[in-house]
Amino acid sequence: MSTPEIPREHADRWELHPLRGVRVTRITVDDRIVLALGPDWEVVLEAPAALSYETADALPPVRLHPESQDVAEALPLVGARVLSATASTSGTLSLVFDAGRHLTCPPDPSFEAWQVTGPSGWRFVALPGGELAAWSGLATEES
């Protein structure tokens, strides 16, 4: 029986391995952007984020502004599959989706810019000023 993948801590980042291969099933918008990833994970963006596309045209990144609901450019992410997800210890969230989409949310100096929550109590939060808080309800595991 295989062990389910869990997020892995490195010196400068957390690799959010359980998100790999998971599709965005729903996006909700109020004063935040909430991406439901499969049945178990959720990404909440409360600060401006950048959405870029790797294309031959090399278009500039689009800024998403949750507080003003200026997020229409994020809607095509519904159905997109996560290829990689990383939370840096400096508070930047990076998600790479299929079809060349990249979503990056840096920390905010004054408030929590984003959070990622999942099963077993996993929670990652970009703290004000550029730090990362990470915890889970799991017993301590060896890296």
**Using CA of residue 128, residue 129, residue 130, residue 134, what is the dihedral sign?**
negative
In the predicted model, what is the mean pLDDT of residues 47-59?
A: 82
- Break the chain into its structural domains and give their ranges: 8-135
User: Strands (DSSP E) along the chain, which ranges?
Assistant: 8-9, 13-15, 24-29, 33-37, 41-45, 49-53, 62-64, 82-88, 93-97, 101-105, 114-117, 123-127, 131-135
Q: Which pTM does this prediction carry?
A: 0.89
Residue 141: is its pLDDT beyond 90? no
Residues whose CB is less than 8 angstroms from the CB of residue 106 and which lie 6 or more positions away in sequence, other chains included: 47, 49, 91, 92, 113, 126
In this prediction, residue 54 carries a pLDDT of 79
Residue 24: is its pLDDT beyond 80? yes
**What residues does 125 pair with on adjacent strands?**
115, 133
